[in-house]
Structure 1
């Protein structure tokens, strides 16, 4: 008897599975919250709610918030109040179009209420664990010196129907949205009615007077206002992430530093929260800087430094301990060949917990501050994230996932390494198969590995058809669950899905990245072919029925594969780079691209040069709002496939190539109704060309077939 179908056998069920993200722990360690996104009633988006998870694992998770607009960015204040942002309507205000506001659920319980609302909205909240200090990130129009002026300007643009943006610098886009005219700033939340006093100290009449010190305790029932901490920066901030000291007296913030000709890097500043005084702690030529957590006593912080890349030097992030007063640094674990992300200090200040990709996983590590000794704490096949430490220092909590299950909360014993799953808000979905760790040796002797997802049960006599799925980045790894790039939907269709980590992948050491830096068409390509060769040699895989697929860099590599081999029956390329010289100046961070490849490298590694060699049917997918890989790449690829590829068109001009275009989507296809279309078209394309089936009926909403007759009435 065959196994019952799973959610991966039905796209309607798949997109409806709740999705968990984020984790926050109260300062006393007694409360743990996360957010869960669920499909809205129309099936056209997701709405997030805050849920509480029992840290002891004894009680089931329960829901704290409920609204159609959803809630995000949950954070606990020092007294246990729970903050979050939401665009839900304020019952005490009259708003035609509610914007995201700062909300609060009191520590003692009760209804959520608005702490702060503003026409420009609120983006994020950061709280100090040991003091009642709250920072807010929000956008302000550059012509406004205070909140009152900003409100008037926001209203004027809205009433006039103006969306134009006049830029004076670079960049102007990021991933899927335009930058400006409003610019993100960091504010401190204070008691007091809104008005001109909300502006920066520099913009007030009393320029020489420092703002009043922060009160010891904020009255949550009183009116609140914002005081800006980030005025007069050389360049606008973008998605700022302030790191507060535990006592709330200062914040560390990475800020952009201008370089020559529309380039920038980052430096680290310290901001005194009470006075607003700001000074630079770490600004190193040729170096990017970002802050990790501040030590419990506030004297040190873990910082991550990385060199500004060049065509010969890839990123190489390093950990340092920094004196939070002087900015002096000392290396931390300098011999550790990993790309670590510092997550938290232990409460006694003796060690730092960090996460790092490793061999297709993302374990938790402990770094001794005194010696730099690194100890791996988790040894499962999981990728950990959102790590927080209990105030007593005995346990940590985090989200973990793998390609066997999506993110779920877990408790980690920091002494024994024991991992305990916590009762979470979402039940783990059953997957329709099994996962194996596979590998081979590349032509230069380097080990190359990946995951192979296989259907449950015995393989057919001819073996499973194989889909080679290439990850994006390219600096990344197939190590954590992805709702957008999920192999189990294809496994449910009978495919074996290979998820390899070729050169440029993280988690295998710096030399592994160096092998492919500035040479995308070399080691990354030969690594992919080598591990594909190893997998198709298995008895349970059919070497004659294979396809390749990828998105972003994976789409680039799919294009490169198409022009360099005819071994695959079909190729799917999503959000892909095609002509690198044209891509470079039009991507949202052109200066970064110029650091990676010289014009000669770009030409040598550009897939468009090999269009005449493409004889494999290709499905091209692109979203118009993709600013990382602009739509021009997809348009040129599509035109040149039809006009120049080695796969001739029919007498009537018809072609086996297809172009799936999403006018309103970005680098990723995020809307659930469009995600269903994406998977349906991909599965149909592969079924026709890899499995040799008759063309599958596509969703009627594409307008290509007549829908079933409406039976209503």
Structure 2
């Protein structure tokens, strides 16, 4: 038995979420998520990993509170700044409900609150003696923010008047407050000094902003949303003078976004970010590493065809390290300002959270993979040697076999994927088969998934195929172009090809098969339901059903309508799964959260009603308090237990048994 056999054991596994290296290279800090004592929610805490000497010391816990801690950064002096909604012990009857900024001294002792805002504090960056943080502020003078919030509450007003879009984002309503950036100085007292609003005129420009500070603390580089006609917007990069608040546009280009991740070179002369082109009916998604001069804005693209997810500068400012999807992995690459791109890590792992040591010898990162939970690792820059470091929490042990397979699609393209086989699968005892389709659609199966956990399914006897069909990253621009504007037919052809290869194995039962997916994977699950009867059951989570309806109600309508066209365009008729309702005979399990604003609940409600009126055998697992992901421990248990019971009925031929978690 392992933690993957009982879902209650699985949800209790602690998780390493992040990694941050101190400026002097003496220690790493990780945010660790674990089950709260009530078993109904997750909390976070900061852990330290000493790096003194040739061998690292044992990790130890730095913080402990019911509210948890996150967003940790090191000051130049080695203190730790973090955000938390914990109550301030120096204030009588403090019952903070929003996150404030706290400082934990390097020398030890209790953390102290150094800044608070009525709307809470989100991200924070620091350099020299400067601190810049993001906070939610109501329109008008920020000094009156608290009074205005109290007046709304006392009057019972929850209404938000919008004059632009979007109005929602992922799982929360936007407004009435808006994000602004504040600058302050670290002093010797208990509070930050000289706190100033850097962006009083920001409006909606800093929604979901990412920002960084130059090493001297003189300049903030931030994303900045520029509103365009007809509900469109563009993301530029701006530079803000910390002393004066003067703002200048650093990077801006028609039909392009300059966005996260952002990194500023140690010498303060250059900025690296992502440059994403606007998509269109015939223009596919493309993201490039862009490096520009911080003074002039002149720059260019580097590392073509690598969809990067992280950036870290080498300490001598001669190169950047990035992680990027590549053939079902996510290696670390070294990208010099002059010269060729080189792959630094050669293993099958996925890396994230890059931190370069000041002496240039090492890069620290979280190392993970399909069968490997994230934990800290050290990469030798000269040799590429990888050393796993002591981890704040042990990695869970997986049982089964991870195999790589590939197929040739009907157009000659290679489609590859990961196949997880349960223990004991053989020609004498072939395993039932589960196709698991990734979301995105511009994404890849290449990393550990706390949410979409194939090893749970393997522990219950299923062989799980996780393919990367068209639109997947890590295979060059052509792989994305193949599926652009042709979601259903082209992706199904790719999936059919690699499923055929998997089912030809003698350790897989080609008769007992099912398909499932979430988000775009849910779209494809719906598409398959109306275009093939090869599967015994289909599970569709947070899925797109009526494309015209989806494209007008999602939180980012402008993005999807670039690819599909304006409502009523031909592409909706070609690609919407709901138009094949009359062909569906496969039993379906529909799953959706009411707080999902990326794929609104209306998609599931309409799908469910369409299945009901068509008398398709089906069930609907509904989560009133979840979003695009299922995040609460109890709901995760209910999700997996219901999915397993549904598959047991239709794939394994067992009698339906309603799980206790949803009884």
TM-score (norm 2): 0.97
- The answer to whether the Cα contact below 8 Å between 1:54 and 1:422 also exists between their aligned partners in 2 is no
Q: 1:266 aligns with which of 217, 235, 239?
A: 235
Q: Give the Å deviation of 1:460.
A: 5.9
Q: Give the Å deviation of 1:58.
A: 2.8
Residue matched to 2:177: 182
Q: Give the Å deviation of 1:107.
A: 1.8
Q: Give the Å deviation of 1:158.
A: 2.5
TM-score (norm 1): 0.90
Q: Aligned with 1:639: secondary structure? A: helix
Q: 1:281 aligns with which of 239, 245, 250?
A: 250
Question: Number of aligned pairs?
Answer: 656
Residues 522, 187 of structure 1: alpha-carbon distance in 2 compared, 3 angstrom cutoff: same
Aligned-partner Cα distance in 2 for 1:49–1:342: 23
Q: Deviations over 1:85-129 (max 9, x none)?
A: 01111101132344211011112221111111222111121122x
Residue matched to 1:709: none
> Tell me, which stretches of 5 or more residues in structure 2 are unaligned?
none
Q: State whether structure 2 residue 279 is matched by structure 1 residue 302.
A: no
Aligned-partner Cα distance in 1 for 2:256–2:481: 18
Residues 458, 618 of structure 1: alpha-carbon distance in 2 compared, 3 angstrom cutoff: closer
- The answer to whether the Cα contact below 8 Å between 1:172 and 1:178 also exists between their aligned partners in 2 is yes
Q: State whether structure 2 residue 245 is matched by structure 1 residue 247.
A: no
Q: Deviations over 1:152-203 (max 9, x none)?
A: 112222233322111111000011111111111111124xxxxxxxxxxxxx
Q: 1:34 aligns with which of 30, 36, 51?
A: 30
Residues 347, 667 of structure 1: alpha-carbon distance in 2 compared, 3 angstrom cutoff: same
The worse-fitting range, judged by mean Cα deviation, of 446-455 and 243-252 is 243-252
Q: Give the Å deviation of 1:361.
A: 0.5
Q: State whether structure 2 residue 136 is matched by structure 1 residue 139.
A: yes
The worse-fitting range, judged by mean Cα deviation, of 672-681 and 241-250 is 241-250
Aligned-partner Cα distance in 1 for 2:387–2:312: 19
Q: Give the Å deviation of 1:696.
A: 2.5
Aligned-partner Cα distance in 1 for 2:221–2:38: 42
Residue matched to 2:162: 167
Matches within 5 A, 1:62-101: 62-93=60-91, 94-101=93-100
The worse-fitting range, judged by mean Cα deviation, of 21-30 and 543-552 is 21-30
Q: State whether structure 2 residue 72 is matched by structure 1 residue 102.
A: no
Residues 96, 67 of structure 1: alpha-carbon distance in 2 compared, 3 angstrom cutoff: closer
Residue matched to 1:208: none
Q: State whether structure 2 residue 306 is matched by structure 1 residue 338.
A: yes
Q: Deviations over 1:516-562 (max 9, x none)?
A: 11110122111111110100000000000000000000000000000
Aligned-partner Cα distance in 1 for 2:514–2:612: 20
Residue matched to 1:611: 581
- The answer to whether the Cα contact below 8 Å between 1:54 and 1:423 also exists between their aligned partners in 2 is no
Q: State whether structure 2 residue 387 is matched by structure 1 residue 420.
A: yes
- The answer to whether the Cα contact below 8 Å between 2:642 and 2:658 also exists between their aligned partners in 1 is no
Q: Deviations over 1:359-395 (max 9, x none)?
A: 1100000011122x10000011111000010011110
Aligned-partner Cα distance in 1 for 2:383–2:327: 22
Q: State whether structure 2 residue 654 is matched by structure 1 residue 693.
A: yes
Aligned-partner Cα distance in 2 for 1:453–1:122: 42
- The answer to whether the Cα contact below 8 Å between 2:85 and 2:100 also exists between their aligned partners in 1 is yes
Q: Aligned with 2:353: secondary structure? A: strand
Q: Aligned with 1:22: secondary structure? A: coil
- The answer to whether the Cα contact below 8 Å between 2:288 and 2:305 also exists between their aligned partners in 1 is no
Q: Deviations over 1:191-239 (max 9, x none)?
A: xxxxxxxxxxxxxxxxxxxxxxxxxx62243554631112223643212
- The answer to whether the Cα contact below 8 Å between 1:86 and 1:101 also exists between their aligned partners in 2 is yes
Residue matched to 1:678: 639
Aligned-partner Cα distance in 2 for 1:688–1:564: 22
Residue matched to 1:634: 604
Aligned-partner Cα distance in 2 for 1:668–1:220: 42
Residue matched to 2:332: 364
Q: Aligned with 1:99: secondary structure? A: coil
Residue matched to 1:707: none
Q: Aligned with 2:30: secondary structure? A: strand
- The answer to whether the Cα contact below 8 Å between 1:618 and 1:657 also exists between their aligned partners in 2 is yes
- The answer to whether the Cα contact below 8 Å between 1:687 and 1:696 also exists between their aligned partners in 2 is no
Residues 234, 118 of structure 1: alpha-carbon distance in 2 compared, 3 angstrom cutoff: closer
Rg bigger for which structure?
1
Aligned-partner Cα distance in 1 for 2:463–2:395: 22
Residue matched to 2:281: 311
Residues 458, 665 of structure 1: alpha-carbon distance in 2 compared, 3 angstrom cutoff: closer
Aligned-partner Cα distance in 1 for 2:425–2:644: 22
Residues 47, 234 of structure 1: alpha-carbon distance in 2 compared, 3 angstrom cutoff: closer
- The answer to whether the Cα contact below 8 Å between 1:185 and 1:240 also exists between their aligned partners in 2 is no
- The answer to whether the Cα contact below 8 Å between 1:116 and 1:225 also exists between their aligned partners in 2 is no
Q: Deviations over 1:615-660 (max 9, x none)?
A: 1000000111110111110011011111126x4xxxxxxxx31001
Q: Deviations over 1:281-323 (max 9, x none)?
A: 1211111112621111111112321211111111212223211
Cα RMSD after superposing both structures: 1.4
Q: Give the Å deviation of 1:597.
A: 1.1
> Tell me, which stretches of 5 or more residues in structure 1 are unaligned?
191-216, 648-655, 705-713
Aligned-partner Cα distance in 1 for 2:429–2:491: 29
Q: Give the Å deviation of 1:251.
A: 1.3
The worse-fitting range, judged by mean Cα deviation, of 317-326 and 30-39 is 317-326
